[in-house]
Structure 1
Amino acid sequence: MKQITATGTTMDEAIESALKQLQTSKDQVDVHVIDEGKKGFLGFGSKPAIVQVSIRKNPVQDAESFIQDVAAQMGAPVTIKTDVKDRDIMMDLESDKVAMLIGKRGQTLNSLQYLAQLVINRESNQFYTVMIDAEGYRGRRRETLESLAERLADKAIRTGKDVRIEPMPSYERKIIHSVLQNNREVETYSDGKEPRRFVVIRPSR
């Protein structure tokens, strides 16, 4: 964290001096007042104001830097486009080696997403939800899961037996539940413990 101590005849002047040296704006810093200073009388007995100004950490930038470092170590340099809406953060990765970043069934992408969320929330006083996509993978994966849900629901109905789906992250399990929530012939529930939690499709009884 960049930090500087500055002085001025007033607190505002001291803060302004610090902002110029840090090349930033007031909304990007935290200010700690060391001494409010004293005007004195006719120039006698005056004391300068002293402030300590620190650039506020940007958790989103920290997460972007983390992902870029990991991707570089994997040999898949990446460009990141980030969109923040309230407490939802969407990151889209672009790379010439995007398949490496996605991994088998999105496992590498899911791991990056989990770690990025840890980085963003480790020093934040509010919780942010992070979603990481890579060149449209999430949309394609959703279509695959929707088709899988319908196919396995038919299997459960046909055989009269529970069908257990492979472990997947919570947001992918939600897709399965959502697709089948209006199907009166089956019911769904999640079982197991993270990170091996899975969905079970059960014929309605």
Structure 2
Amino acid sequence: MSTETEHPAEQSLSELEGEGDAAADFLEGLLDIADIDGDLDLDVRNGRAYVSVQSDGANPSLDRLADPDTVTALQELTRLAVQSRTGHYSRLILDIGGSRDARRRELEILVDRAVARLDEGASQASLPSMSSYERKLVHDIVADRGLVSESYGEGPQRHTVIRRS
């Protein structure tokens, strides 16, 4: 299995756009097979391809795909499809129906609860295990609140610990 270290350190905008196109092709085929309507939006941010699947209105089928575990699984499948087409590991981010914004709000609440534990006298506050992307979001949220964070553990047990600076 490929690791992130096999991924080029710096990808050009055109390479990242190519990842987005490959991801869109894969997702369009998947959505067609499942008979789910959705509009795809491609973007490049922070050195990653971002692919969003949205609908114009209430779409129960797309809403079910927006479940965080489902988004994570579909993201991994999409990354594998992109890797198959491009020959290198992809760090693309998939968003379905605003799932990433919803998850960021959940992580902000989680960080705020941890900060409250620090305010009550704890020397540090540990968060549950989460994906590397979610840990990155947590590190950004923690930094915005003027605190420091580090990740500990290996594999699926990797988690974030928050401290005052």
TM-score (normalizing by structure 2): 0.67
Does residue 155 in structure 1 map to residue 104 in structure 2?
no
Q: Does residue 1:169 correspond to 2:128, yes or no?
A: no
Give the structure 2 partner of residue 90 of structure 1: 51
Tell me by how many angstroms 1:149 deviates: 0.9
Q: Structure 2: how far apart are the matches of 1:82 and 1:183?
A: 31
More helix, by proportion: 2
Structure 1 unaligned blocks of 5 or more: 1-57
Structure with bigger RCO (C-alpha 8 Å, 6+ apart): 2
Specify the structure having the higher radius of gyration (Cα): 1
Q: Shift of residue 190 of structure 1?
A: 0.9
On the 8 A contact 1:91/1:132 being kept in 2, the answer is: yes
- Say which of 40, 43, 67 aligns to 1:81: 40
Percent of pairs with identical residues: 24
Name 1:179's counterpart in structure 2.
Answer: 141
Alignment of 1:1-205 (within 5 A): 59-65=22-28, 67-68=30-31, 72=34, 77-85=36-44, 88-94=49-55, 95-103=59-67, 106-125=68-87, 128-181=90-143, 183=145, 186-204=147-165
Q: Count residues with an aligned counterpart.
A: 140
SS in 2 for 1:190: strand
- Greater strand share, 1 or 2? 1
Q: CA deviation at 1:143?
A: 2.0
For the aligned residue pairs, the C-alpha RMSD in angstroms reads 2.9
Mind listing any 5+ residue stretches in structure 2 that lack a counterpart?
A: 1-20
User: How far apart, in 2, do the equivalents of 1:77 and 1:120 lie?
Assistant: 21
| CA spacing shift, 1:93–1:115, aligned 2, 3 Å | farther
State the shift of 1:62 in Å: 4.1
CA, structure 1 residues 148+61, in 2 after alignment: closer, same or farther (shift >3 Å)?
Answer: closer
Equivalents in 2 of 1:137, 1:165: separation in Å? 20
Structure 1 segments of 4 or more deviating over 4 A?
Answer: 125-128
Q: 1:90 to 1:65 in 2, by over 3 A?
A: closer
Match in the other structure for 1:32: none
Is residue 53–residue 95 contact of structure 2 (8 Å, CA) maintained in 1? yes
Change (3 A) 1:68 1:98: closer
Counterparts in 2 of 1:132 and 1:59: CA distance versus 1, 3 Å: same
Distance, in Å, in 1 between the alignment partners of 2:23 and 2:62 is 21
Please state how far the C-alpha of 1:114 moved relative to its aligned partner: 1.7
Change in Cα spacing, 1:64 to 1:183, as seen in structure 2 (3 Å) is closer
| Pairwise CA distance, 1:120 | 0.7
Per the normalisation by structure 1, the TM-score is: 0.56
